[in-house]
Structure 1
Amino acid sequence: MTTTLITGANKGLGYETARRLIAAGHDVWIGARDAERGRAAAEELGAHFVQLDVTDDASVDAAAETLRTEVGRVDVLINNAGISGGRVPAAEVTANHVRMVYETNVFGIVRVTHAFLPLLEAAEAPSVINVTSGLGSFHQITETEWGRYGSVTYSSSKSAVTMLSVQYARALPGIRFNAVDPGYTATDFNRRQGTQTIEEGTDAVVRLATLGGAAPTGTLTDRNGTVPW
Protein backbone atom coordinates (compact mmCIF):
# COMPACT_ATOMS: atom_id res chain seq x y z
CA MET A 1 0.00 0.00 0.00
CA THR A 2 1.22 3.50 -0.85
CA THR A 3 2.14 5.52 2.23
CA THR A 4 1.39 9.22 1.76
CA LEU A 5 2.11 12.13 4.09
CA ILE A 6 0.29 15.43 3.55
CA THR A 7 1.29 18.53 5.49
CA GLY A 8 -1.35 21.05 6.53
CA ALA A 9 -4.05 18.48 5.85
CA ASN A 10 -6.63 19.12 8.55
CA LYS A 11 -8.76 21.29 6.23
CA GLY A 12 -9.11 22.70 2.72
CA LEU A 13 -7.07 21.31 -0.15
CA GLY A 14 -5.00 19.07 2.11
CA TYR A 15 -8.09 17.47 3.63
CA GLU A 16 -9.73 16.88 0.25
CA THR A 17 -6.49 15.45 -1.13
CA ALA A 18 -6.35 13.07 1.81
CA ARG A 19 -9.98 12.01 1.27
CA ARG A 20 -9.44 11.28 -2.40
CA LEU A 21 -6.17 9.41 -1.92
CA ILE A 22 -7.66 7.25 0.81
CA ALA A 23 -10.43 6.39 -1.64
CA ALA A 24 -7.71 5.51 -4.16
CA GLY A 25 -6.16 3.05 -1.70
CA HIS A 26 -3.38 5.13 -0.14
CA ASP A 27 -2.45 4.82 3.52
CA VAL A 28 -2.58 8.53 4.37
CA TRP A 29 -0.91 10.37 7.23
CA ILE A 30 -2.30 13.80 8.00
CA GLY A 31 0.31 16.23 9.27
CA ALA A 32 -1.10 19.22 11.14
CA ARG A 33 0.24 21.82 13.54
CA ASP A 34 -2.92 21.79 15.68
CA ALA A 35 -3.10 18.34 17.27
CA GLU A 36 -6.80 18.55 18.13
CA ARG A 37 -7.90 19.56 14.64
CA GLY A 38 -5.47 17.22 12.94
CA ARG A 39 -6.56 14.23 14.99
CA ALA A 40 -10.24 15.03 14.39
CA ALA A 41 -9.66 15.27 10.64
CA ALA A 42 -7.77 11.98 10.61
CA GLU A 43 -10.57 10.24 12.51
CA GLU A 44 -13.19 11.61 10.12
CA LEU A 45 -11.27 10.37 7.10
CA GLY A 46 -9.88 7.11 8.40
CA ALA A 47 -6.31 8.40 8.16
CA HIS A 48 -3.38 8.46 10.58
CA PHE A 49 -2.40 11.65 12.38
CA VAL A 50 1.05 13.01 13.13
CA GLN A 51 1.67 16.37 14.77
CA LEU A 52 3.78 18.40 12.37
CA ASP A 53 4.56 22.10 12.43
CA VAL A 54 6.56 22.82 9.28
CA THR A 55 8.16 25.88 10.91
CA ASP A 56 9.66 23.89 13.77
CA ASP A 57 12.70 21.62 13.40
CA ALA A 58 11.90 19.52 16.47
CA SER A 59 8.30 18.95 15.36
CA VAL A 60 9.31 17.90 11.85
CA ASP A 61 12.08 15.62 13.11
CA ALA A 62 9.67 13.99 15.58
CA ALA A 63 7.13 13.41 12.80
CA ALA A 64 9.79 11.80 10.63
CA GLU A 65 10.79 9.53 13.51
CA THR A 66 7.15 8.54 14.03
CA LEU A 67 6.76 7.45 10.42
CA ARG A 68 10.16 5.75 10.45
CA THR A 69 9.06 3.70 13.44
CA GLU A 70 5.49 3.03 12.29
CA VAL A 71 5.98 2.50 8.56
CA GLY A 72 9.65 2.70 7.60
CA ARG A 73 9.14 4.65 4.39
CA VAL A 74 7.16 7.40 2.67
CA ASP A 75 6.09 6.81 -0.92
CA VAL A 76 4.47 10.19 -1.53
CA LEU A 77 5.19 13.43 0.33
CA ILE A 78 2.79 16.28 -0.39
CA ASN A 79 4.09 19.62 0.88
CA ASN A 80 0.72 21.34 1.11
CA ALA A 81 1.05 23.60 4.18
CA GLY A 82 1.09 27.27 3.27
CA ILE A 83 0.00 30.74 4.34
CA SER A 84 -0.88 33.89 2.41
CA GLY A 85 0.61 36.46 4.75
CA GLY A 86 -2.26 38.83 4.00
CA ARG A 87 -2.37 41.61 1.41
CA VAL A 88 0.28 44.05 2.58
CA PRO A 89 0.96 46.96 0.17
CA ALA A 90 4.40 46.63 -1.42
CA ALA A 91 5.61 49.90 0.10
CA GLU A 92 4.78 48.57 3.58
CA VAL A 93 6.33 45.12 3.25
CA THR A 94 9.15 44.56 5.71
CA ALA A 95 11.69 41.79 6.02
CA ASN A 96 9.60 40.39 8.87
CA HIS A 97 6.55 40.09 6.60
CA VAL A 98 8.57 38.17 4.05
CA ARG A 99 10.30 36.05 6.67
CA MET A 100 6.97 34.97 8.20
CA VAL A 101 5.57 33.77 4.86
CA TYR A 102 8.81 32.13 3.73
CA GLU A 103 9.13 30.30 7.04
CA THR A 104 6.06 28.24 6.14
CA ASN A 105 5.90 28.31 2.36
CA VAL A 106 9.59 27.92 1.53
CA PHE A 107 11.70 26.95 4.52
CA GLY A 108 8.94 24.57 5.61
CA ILE A 109 9.30 22.60 2.38
CA VAL A 110 13.07 22.42 2.77
CA ARG A 111 12.74 21.42 6.42
CA VAL A 112 10.21 18.64 5.75
CA THR A 113 11.94 17.36 2.62
CA HIS A 114 15.29 17.16 4.40
CA ALA A 115 13.84 15.31 7.40
CA PHE A 116 11.87 12.81 5.32
CA LEU A 117 14.50 12.20 2.65
CA PRO A 118 15.73 8.91 4.19
CA LEU A 119 12.13 7.64 4.30
CA LEU A 120 11.57 8.66 0.68
CA GLU A 121 14.77 6.93 -0.37
CA ALA A 122 13.48 3.77 1.32
CA ALA A 123 10.47 3.72 -1.02
CA GLU A 124 10.41 1.96 -4.39
CA ALA A 125 9.14 4.90 -6.47
CA PRO A 126 9.16 7.99 -4.20
CA SER A 127 7.44 11.20 -5.15
CA VAL A 128 7.37 14.71 -3.68
CA ILE A 129 4.60 17.09 -4.70
CA ASN A 130 5.00 20.74 -3.75
CA VAL A 131 1.86 22.87 -3.78
CA THR A 132 2.72 26.14 -5.46
CA SER A 133 0.52 28.79 -7.14
CA GLY A 134 -0.01 30.39 -10.51
CA LEU A 135 0.63 33.64 -8.67
CA GLY A 136 4.25 32.52 -8.48
CA SER A 137 4.49 32.04 -12.24
CA PHE A 138 6.40 34.83 -13.98
CA HIS A 139 4.29 34.29 -17.09
CA GLN A 140 0.99 34.44 -15.23
CA ILE A 141 1.97 37.59 -13.36
CA THR A 142 3.43 39.49 -16.29
CA GLU A 143 1.29 38.28 -19.20
CA THR A 144 -2.21 37.58 -17.83
CA GLU A 145 -4.95 39.23 -15.78
CA TRP A 146 -3.68 37.41 -12.68
CA GLY A 147 -0.86 39.94 -12.41
CA ARG A 148 -3.09 42.28 -10.43
CA TYR A 149 -3.53 39.65 -7.73
CA GLY A 150 0.13 38.99 -7.02
CA SER A 151 1.95 40.16 -3.92
CA VAL A 152 5.55 40.72 -2.89
CA THR A 153 5.42 38.07 -0.18
CA TYR A 154 3.09 35.32 -1.35
CA SER A 155 3.95 35.40 -5.06
CA SER A 156 7.69 35.41 -4.50
CA SER A 157 7.38 32.57 -1.99
CA LYS A 158 5.54 30.43 -4.53
CA SER A 159 8.11 31.24 -7.22
CA ALA A 160 10.67 29.87 -4.78
CA VAL A 161 8.58 26.73 -4.24
CA THR A 162 8.54 26.05 -7.97
CA MET A 163 12.31 26.56 -8.28
CA LEU A 164 12.93 24.32 -5.26
CA SER A 165 10.97 21.60 -7.03
CA VAL A 166 13.07 21.91 -10.19
CA GLN A 167 16.37 21.97 -8.34
CA TYR A 168 15.49 18.97 -6.17
CA ALA A 169 14.37 17.10 -9.29
CA ARG A 170 17.74 17.69 -10.94
CA ALA A 171 19.82 16.96 -7.86
CA LEU A 172 17.90 13.87 -6.70
CA PRO A 173 16.88 11.91 -9.82
CA GLY A 174 15.83 8.90 -7.76
CA ILE A 175 12.88 10.88 -6.40
CA ARG A 176 10.21 12.56 -8.50
CA PHE A 177 9.75 16.21 -7.55
CA ASN A 178 6.92 18.23 -9.07
CA ALA A 179 5.16 21.51 -8.39
CA VAL A 180 1.39 21.77 -8.65
CA ASP A 181 -0.84 24.83 -8.92
CA PRO A 182 -4.30 24.01 -7.49
CA GLY A 183 -5.83 27.02 -9.25
CA TYR A 184 -8.34 29.50 -7.85
CA THR A 185 -10.25 27.15 -5.57
CA ALA A 186 -13.00 28.02 -3.09
CA THR A 187 -11.39 27.47 0.33
CA ASP A 188 -10.94 29.37 3.59
CA PHE A 189 -7.63 30.54 2.12
CA ASN A 190 -9.48 32.97 -0.17
CA ARG A 191 -12.67 33.35 1.88
CA ARG A 192 -14.46 30.88 -0.44
CA GLN A 193 -14.19 33.26 -3.40
CA GLY A 194 -12.42 30.79 -5.68
CA THR A 195 -14.12 29.72 -8.90
CA GLN A 196 -13.12 26.04 -8.71
CA THR A 197 -14.61 23.36 -6.48
CA ILE A 198 -12.41 21.80 -3.83
CA GLU A 199 -12.31 18.59 -5.89
CA GLU A 200 -11.17 20.45 -9.00
CA GLY A 201 -8.46 22.13 -6.93
CA THR A 202 -7.01 18.75 -5.95
CA ASP A 203 -7.16 17.12 -9.39
CA ALA A 204 -3.52 17.79 -10.31
CA VAL A 205 -2.11 16.65 -6.96
CA VAL A 206 -4.17 13.48 -6.92
CA ARG A 207 -3.20 12.66 -10.50
CA LEU A 208 0.52 12.92 -9.73
CA ALA A 209 0.21 11.09 -6.41
CA THR A 210 -1.44 8.11 -8.08
CA LEU A 211 0.98 7.78 -11.01
CA GLY A 212 3.62 6.02 -8.94
CA GLY A 213 6.72 5.18 -10.93
CA ALA A 214 5.11 6.59 -14.08
CA ALA A 215 5.13 10.13 -12.66
CA PRO A 216 7.29 12.75 -14.41
CA THR A 217 9.76 14.94 -12.53
CA GLY A 218 10.65 18.62 -12.58
CA THR A 219 7.24 19.77 -13.85
CA LEU A 220 4.83 22.60 -13.04
CA THR A 221 1.22 21.67 -13.74
CA ASP A 222 -2.39 22.40 -12.86
CA ARG A 223 -5.56 20.40 -13.60
CA ASN A 224 -5.44 21.50 -17.23
CA GLY A 225 -1.81 20.58 -17.91
CA THR A 226 1.51 22.42 -18.01
CA VAL A 227 1.70 25.87 -16.39
CA PRO A 228 4.16 28.36 -17.96
CA TRP A 229 7.07 29.18 -15.69
Structure 2
Amino acid sequence: MAEKDIVFITGANTGIGFEVVKALLQSPKAYHVLLGSRSLEKGKEAISQLAEVLEGSSNTVELVEIDVTVDETINKAAELVETKFGRLDALINNAGAAFDKLFTSDATDFRTLFNKSYDVNVSGAQVTTAAFAPLLIKSKNARLLFLTSGTANLTGHEQALIPSRAASVPKGWPKEGLIGGQAYKACKTALNMVMITWHWFLKDDGVKVWSISPGMLATNLTGNPELLRKAGAGEPSLGGDLIKRVLEGERDADVARVVTQNGAVQPW
Protein backbone atom coordinates (compact mmCIF):
# COMPACT_ATOMS: atom_id res chain seq x y z
CA MET A 1 0.00 0.00 0.00
CA ALA A 2 3.01 2.30 -0.12
CA GLU A 3 1.71 3.97 -3.28
CA LYS A 4 -1.71 4.73 -1.79
CA ASP A 5 -2.64 7.17 0.96
CA ILE A 6 -4.04 5.27 3.95
CA VAL A 7 -7.16 7.03 5.26
CA PHE A 8 -9.09 5.96 8.35
CA ILE A 9 -12.67 7.23 8.79
CA THR A 10 -14.65 6.56 11.97
CA GLY A 11 -18.41 6.11 11.72
CA ALA A 12 -18.03 5.53 7.99
CA ASN A 13 -20.82 3.03 7.40
CA THR A 14 -23.43 5.76 7.01
CA GLY A 15 -24.02 9.47 6.51
CA ILE A 16 -21.17 11.86 5.77
CA GLY A 17 -18.56 9.25 6.66
CA PHE A 18 -19.92 6.91 4.00
CA GLU A 19 -19.95 9.75 1.48
CA VAL A 20 -16.28 10.43 2.22
CA VAL A 21 -15.51 6.80 1.40
CA LYS A 22 -17.38 7.11 -1.90
CA ALA A 23 -15.65 10.37 -2.78
CA LEU A 24 -12.19 8.96 -2.12
CA LEU A 25 -12.85 5.78 -4.07
CA GLN A 26 -13.82 7.92 -7.07
CA SER A 27 -10.84 10.26 -6.75
CA PRO A 28 -8.02 10.11 -9.31
CA LYS A 29 -5.64 10.19 -6.35
CA ALA A 30 -4.67 6.78 -4.95
CA TYR A 31 -6.32 5.79 -1.65
CA HIS A 32 -6.78 2.77 0.54
CA VAL A 33 -9.76 3.67 2.72
CA LEU A 34 -10.28 2.09 6.13
CA LEU A 35 -14.03 2.15 6.72
CA GLY A 36 -14.48 2.32 10.46
CA SER A 37 -17.76 0.95 11.76
CA ARG A 38 -19.03 0.21 15.25
CA SER A 39 -20.98 -2.74 13.83
CA LEU A 40 -19.24 -5.20 11.53
CA GLU A 41 -22.60 -6.20 10.07
CA LYS A 42 -23.47 -2.62 9.15
CA GLY A 43 -19.95 -2.10 7.86
CA LYS A 44 -20.31 -5.07 5.54
CA GLU A 45 -23.64 -3.69 4.30
CA ALA A 46 -21.95 -0.36 3.58
CA ILE A 47 -19.18 -2.01 1.58
CA SER A 48 -21.73 -4.01 -0.42
CA GLN A 49 -23.34 -0.71 -1.39
CA LEU A 50 -19.99 0.41 -2.82
CA ALA A 51 -19.79 -2.44 -5.34
CA GLU A 52 -20.59 -0.26 -8.35
CA VAL A 53 -18.12 2.43 -7.29
CA LEU A 54 -15.38 -0.13 -6.69
CA GLU A 55 -15.83 -1.67 -10.14
CA GLY A 56 -14.60 1.48 -11.82
CA SER A 57 -11.91 2.38 -9.29
CA SER A 58 -8.32 1.35 -8.66
CA ASN A 59 -8.74 2.58 -5.09
CA THR A 60 -9.61 0.14 -2.33
CA VAL A 61 -11.63 -0.09 0.88
CA GLU A 62 -11.27 -2.23 3.98
CA LEU A 63 -13.64 -2.67 6.90
CA VAL A 64 -12.29 -2.04 10.42
CA GLU A 65 -14.33 -2.46 13.58
CA ILE A 66 -14.15 0.55 15.90
CA ASP A 67 -16.45 1.93 18.56
CA VAL A 68 -15.11 5.29 19.71
CA THR A 69 -16.64 4.78 23.16
CA VAL A 70 -14.75 1.51 23.72
CA ASP A 71 -10.99 1.88 24.16
CA GLU A 72 -10.28 -1.77 23.37
CA THR A 73 -11.68 -1.42 19.84
CA ILE A 74 -9.78 1.83 19.30
CA ASN A 75 -6.49 0.26 20.34
CA LYS A 76 -7.09 -2.86 18.24
CA ALA A 77 -7.82 -0.69 15.19
CA ALA A 78 -4.61 1.29 15.72
CA GLU A 79 -2.62 -1.92 16.15
CA LEU A 80 -4.08 -3.29 12.91
CA VAL A 81 -3.07 -0.17 10.98
CA GLU A 82 0.42 -0.22 12.47
CA THR A 83 0.90 -3.90 11.64
CA LYS A 84 -0.43 -3.72 8.07
CA PHE A 85 0.75 -0.28 6.96
CA GLY A 86 3.16 1.18 9.51
CA ARG A 87 1.67 4.64 9.11
CA LEU A 88 -1.58 6.57 8.67
CA ASP A 89 -1.86 9.42 6.17
CA ALA A 90 -5.22 10.77 7.32
CA LEU A 91 -7.56 10.29 10.26
CA ILE A 92 -11.11 11.60 9.95
CA ASN A 93 -12.91 11.75 13.29
CA ASN A 94 -16.39 11.53 11.82
CA ALA A 95 -18.22 9.32 14.34
CA GLY A 96 -20.78 11.33 16.27
CA ALA A 97 -24.26 11.26 17.72
CA ALA A 98 -26.99 13.62 18.89
CA PHE A 99 -29.14 12.59 21.84
CA ASP A 100 -30.98 15.87 22.55
CA LYS A 101 -34.76 15.92 22.32
CA LEU A 102 -37.19 18.49 23.72
CA PHE A 103 -35.87 20.57 26.61
CA THR A 104 -38.59 19.27 28.95
CA SER A 105 -37.58 15.64 28.41
CA ASP A 106 -33.83 16.38 28.47
CA ALA A 107 -34.06 18.31 31.74
CA THR A 108 -35.10 15.20 33.68
CA ASP A 109 -31.62 13.73 33.26
CA PHE A 110 -29.19 16.33 31.94
CA ARG A 111 -26.14 14.63 33.48
CA THR A 112 -26.69 11.38 31.59
CA LEU A 113 -27.47 13.25 28.37
CA PHE A 114 -24.32 15.38 28.52
CA ASN A 115 -22.03 12.56 29.63
CA LYS A 116 -23.29 10.27 26.87
CA SER A 117 -22.95 13.02 24.27
CA TYR A 118 -19.42 13.95 25.33
CA ASP A 119 -18.35 10.31 25.40
CA VAL A 120 -19.16 9.87 21.71
CA ASN A 121 -18.45 13.30 20.27
CA VAL A 122 -15.51 14.57 22.32
CA SER A 123 -13.86 11.86 24.41
CA GLY A 124 -14.19 9.38 21.54
CA ALA A 125 -12.43 11.68 19.11
CA GLN A 126 -9.74 12.56 21.66
CA VAL A 127 -8.90 8.96 22.54
CA THR A 128 -8.99 7.85 18.90
CA THR A 129 -6.64 10.64 17.88
CA ALA A 130 -4.23 9.80 20.69
CA ALA A 131 -4.16 6.16 19.59
CA PHE A 132 -3.42 7.02 15.96
CA ALA A 133 -1.13 10.03 16.50
CA PRO A 134 2.10 7.95 16.39
CA LEU A 135 1.02 6.57 13.00
CA LEU A 136 0.13 10.02 11.65
CA ILE A 137 3.57 11.29 12.61
CA LYS A 138 5.10 8.57 10.42
CA SER A 139 3.31 9.92 7.33
CA LYS A 140 5.03 12.37 4.99
CA ASN A 141 1.84 14.43 4.57
CA ALA A 142 -0.48 13.63 7.47
CA ARG A 143 -3.91 15.17 7.87
CA LEU A 144 -6.18 15.09 10.90
CA LEU A 145 -9.83 16.13 10.61
CA PHE A 146 -12.61 16.56 13.18
CA LEU A 147 -16.22 16.72 12.01
CA THR A 148 -17.85 19.63 13.81
CA SER A 149 -21.10 21.55 13.20
CA GLY A 150 -22.47 24.94 12.30
CA THR A 151 -24.17 24.85 15.69
CA ALA A 152 -20.72 25.01 17.34
CA ASN A 153 -20.55 28.74 16.79
CA LEU A 154 -20.36 30.90 19.91
CA THR A 155 -20.52 34.13 17.92
CA GLY A 156 -23.64 33.06 16.06
CA HIS A 157 -25.41 31.94 19.20
CA GLU A 158 -24.59 35.12 21.09
CA GLN A 159 -26.05 37.18 18.26
CA ALA A 160 -29.14 34.94 18.12
CA LEU A 161 -29.89 35.64 21.77
CA ILE A 162 -30.57 39.36 21.36
CA PRO A 163 -34.17 40.18 22.41
CA SER A 164 -35.60 40.52 18.89
CA ARG A 165 -34.52 36.96 18.07
CA ALA A 166 -35.38 35.34 21.38
CA ALA A 167 -39.15 35.89 21.13
CA SER A 168 -39.71 32.23 20.22
CA VAL A 169 -38.36 31.02 23.58
CA PRO A 170 -41.39 30.44 25.84
CA LYS A 171 -41.57 32.25 29.18
CA GLY A 172 -41.87 30.36 32.45
CA TRP A 173 -40.81 26.88 33.45
CA PRO A 174 -40.49 24.29 32.06
CA LYS A 175 -39.60 25.49 28.55
CA GLU A 176 -42.35 23.64 26.71
CA GLY A 177 -41.70 22.90 23.04
CA LEU A 178 -38.14 24.25 23.08
CA ILE A 179 -35.51 22.32 21.11
CA GLY A 180 -32.26 23.52 22.64
CA GLY A 181 -29.80 20.91 21.46
CA GLN A 182 -27.54 21.97 24.30
CA ALA A 183 -25.51 18.77 24.66
CA TYR A 184 -24.76 18.43 20.94
CA LYS A 185 -23.85 22.10 20.55
CA ALA A 186 -21.62 22.04 23.61
CA CYS A 187 -19.89 18.87 22.40
CA LYS A 188 -19.10 20.22 18.95
CA THR A 189 -17.87 23.50 20.43
CA ALA A 190 -15.58 21.54 22.76
CA LEU A 191 -14.43 19.46 19.80
CA ASN A 192 -13.15 22.61 18.10
CA MET A 193 -10.92 23.22 21.12
CA VAL A 194 -9.73 19.62 20.89
CA MET A 195 -8.83 20.31 17.26
CA ILE A 196 -6.81 23.40 18.15
CA THR A 197 -4.86 21.63 20.86
CA TRP A 198 -3.97 18.78 18.49
CA HIS A 199 -2.84 21.37 15.96
CA TRP A 200 -0.28 22.66 18.46
CA PHE A 201 0.68 19.19 19.68
CA LEU A 202 1.42 17.92 16.15
CA LYS A 203 2.37 21.10 14.28
CA ASP A 204 6.12 20.49 14.43
CA ASP A 205 5.58 16.87 13.40
CA GLY A 206 4.12 18.11 10.11
CA VAL A 207 0.52 17.01 10.77
CA LYS A 208 -2.10 19.40 9.35
CA VAL A 209 -5.29 19.68 11.42
CA TRP A 210 -8.78 21.08 10.74
CA SER A 211 -12.36 21.04 11.94
CA ILE A 212 -14.90 20.45 9.16
CA SER A 213 -18.31 22.12 9.31
CA PRO A 214 -20.20 20.72 6.32
CA GLY A 215 -23.43 22.67 6.79
CA MET A 216 -26.97 21.38 7.32
CA LEU A 217 -27.12 18.08 5.47
CA ALA A 218 -29.82 15.41 5.30
CA THR A 219 -28.09 12.74 7.38
CA ASN A 220 -29.69 10.35 9.86
CA LEU A 221 -28.22 12.25 12.82
CA THR A 222 -31.65 13.42 13.95
CA GLY A 223 -33.38 10.26 12.77
CA ASN A 224 -35.35 12.05 10.06
CA PRO A 225 -33.33 13.02 6.96
CA GLU A 226 -36.47 13.70 4.92
CA LEU A 227 -37.61 16.33 7.41
CA LEU A 228 -34.18 17.94 7.09
CA ARG A 229 -34.50 17.98 3.29
CA LYS A 230 -37.84 19.76 3.60
CA ALA A 231 -36.10 22.33 5.81
CA GLY A 232 -33.54 22.98 3.06
CA ALA A 233 -30.74 20.58 4.00
CA GLY A 234 -28.27 19.55 1.32
CA GLU A 235 -27.27 16.02 0.42
CA PRO A 236 -24.64 14.24 2.56
CA SER A 237 -22.44 13.93 -0.53
CA LEU A 238 -21.64 17.64 -0.14
CA GLY A 239 -19.92 16.81 3.14
CA GLY A 240 -18.00 13.94 1.57
CA ASP A 241 -16.78 16.17 -1.24
CA LEU A 242 -15.69 18.93 1.17
CA ILE A 243 -13.63 16.48 3.22
CA LYS A 244 -12.04 15.02 0.08
CA ARG A 245 -11.02 18.52 -1.02
CA VAL A 246 -9.47 19.22 2.37
CA LEU A 247 -7.53 15.96 2.18
CA GLU A 248 -6.30 16.89 -1.29
CA GLY A 249 -4.95 20.28 -0.29
CA GLU A 250 -7.65 22.77 -1.21
CA ARG A 251 -7.85 24.25 2.31
CA ASP A 252 -4.21 24.13 3.34
CA ALA A 253 -4.26 27.88 3.94
CA ASP A 254 -6.88 27.35 6.65
CA VAL A 255 -5.07 24.88 8.91
CA ALA A 256 -6.30 24.95 12.54
CA ARG A 257 -9.57 26.60 11.58
CA VAL A 258 -13.17 25.48 11.11
CA VAL A 259 -13.62 25.18 7.36
CA THR A 260 -17.00 25.19 5.65
CA GLN A 261 -18.39 24.98 2.14
CA ASN A 262 -17.43 27.42 -0.64
CA GLY A 263 -14.02 28.31 0.80
CA ALA A 264 -15.45 29.93 3.92
CA VAL A 265 -14.25 29.72 7.52
CA GLN A 266 -16.69 29.43 10.41
CA PRO A 267 -16.37 32.00 13.23
CA TRP A 268 -15.61 30.72 16.73
Structure-2-length-normalised TM-score: 0.79
8 A contact 1:7–1:80 mirrored in 2: yes
Q: Is the 8 A contact 2:100 2:182 kept in 1?
A: no
Q: CA deviation at 1:93?
A: 4.5
| Aligned ranges 1:45-124 → 2 under 5 Å | 45=50, 46=54, 47-89=61-103, 91-124=107-140
| Cα distance in structure 1, aligned partners of 2:155 and 2:257 | 15
Match of 1:30 in 2: 35
**SS at 1:183 equivalent:** coil
Ranges in structure 2 where 5+ consecutive residues have no aligned partner? 55-60, 170-178
1:39-83 deviation per Cα after TM superposition (whole angstroms, max 9, x unaligned): 232344351010000001100000001111111111010000000
Q: Deviations over 1:181-219 (max 9, x none)?
A: 111101111311141112223332121112299464211
Mapped partners of 1:35, 1:68: distance in 2? 20
Query: How much is the aligned-residue C-alpha RMSD, in angstroms?
Result: 2.2
Structural mapping, 1:6-45, within 5 Å: 6-24=9-27, 25-45=30-50
Aligned to 1:154: 184
Q: Which 4+ runs in 1 deviate beyond 4 A?
A: 144-150, 212-216
Amino-acid identity (%): 29
Per the alignment, residue 141 of structure 2 pairs with: 125
Q: Deviations over 1:149-177 (max 9, x none)?
A: 65220000000111111111122202111
* Letter of the 2:34 counterpart: W
Shift in CA distance, 13/138, structure 1 to aligned 2, threshold 3 Å: same
1:80-229 mapped onto 2 (5 Å cutoff): 80-89=94-103, 91-144=107-160, 150-173=180-203, 174-190=206-222, 191-192=224-225, 193-194=228-229, 195-211=233-249, 214=252, 216-224=254-262, 225-229=264-268
In 2, the alpha carbon distance for the partners of 1:210 and 1:150 equals: 36
**Using a 3 Å threshold, how does the CA distance of structure 1 residues 93 and 133 change in structure 2: closer, same or farther?**
farther
Larger mean CA deviation between 176-185 and 35-44 belongs to: 35-44
Instruction: Give the Cα–Cα distance (whole angstroms) in 2 for the partners of residues 213 and 81 of structure 1.
Output: 22
Offset, 1:120: 0.5
Counterparts of 2:84 and 2:122 in 1: how far apart (Å)? Answer: 27
Structure 2 counterpart SS, 1:208? helix
Structure 1 residue runs without a partner (length 5+): none
Q: What letter is aligned with 2:79? A: E
Equivalence for 2:176: none
Contact 2:23 2:241 (C-alpha < 8 Å) held by counterparts? no
In structure 1, how many angstroms separate the alpha carbons of the residues matched to 2:241 and 2:96? 18
Could you give the per-residue CA deviations for residues 80-131 of structure 1, whole angstroms, max 9, x where no partner exists?
0000013241643521110101101000001100110111011001111100
User: Paired residues, what number?
Assistant: 229
Answer whether contact 2:19 2:237 (CA < 8 A) is retained. Answer: yes
SS at match of 1:106: helix
CA distance, structure 2, for counterparts of residue 226 and residue 14 of structure 1? 21
CA distance in 1: counterparts of 2:13 and 2:186, whole angstroms: 25
Question: Which deviates further from its counterpart, 134-143 or 213-222?
Answer: 213-222
